[in-house]
Amino acid sequence: MEKPTKELLPALQYLLIFTYFWSGIQKINPHYIDGVHPWLFSAFDWSEPFANNVMIGYATAIVEALIGVGLVFRVTRKIAVITGILMHGLILAMISPWALDWNSSFTLGIW
């Protein structure tokens, strides 16, 4: 298998950076803050107090956008990667059959 060309790797990095950044920015809207965020955070007893906290909803959106910003700089890249992994792990736990049961076959978790 060939190594990626020098032009391909930065393009893929920017694609990932802008995806995280835009994913965070687009969550700053009433549908996410009033609908999706409370639903996700109602998954566990320990997360229930955060479900109707609007500021936590905005904070989750901003953290996701900052993951994208953190991926830009070498000094913050490791923190951004760890934060992204933790975020996705928490989301998988929240939508799992043992919490919200959003994806009862859990094909998303397997994928």
pLDDT in tens, 31-85: 999 999 999 999 999 999 999 999 999 999 999 999 999 999 999 999 999 999 9
pLDDT (0 to 100) of residue 97? 79
Mean pLDDT of the 91-110 span: 75
Q: How confident is the model at residue 92 (pLDDT cuts 50, 70, 90)?
A: confident
For the record, the structure tokens of 10 come out as: 């930065």
Alpha carbons 18 and 50: distance in angstroms, whole number: 28
Hey, where are the domains in the chain? 8-110
pLDDT (0 to 100) of residue 105? 59
> What's the one-letter identity of residue 95?
I
Q: How confident is the model at residue 106 (pLDDT cuts 50, 70, 90)?
A: low
Q: How confident is the model at residue 88 (pLDDT cuts 50, 70, 90)?
A: very high
The rounded Cα 43 to chain-centroid distance in angstroms is 16
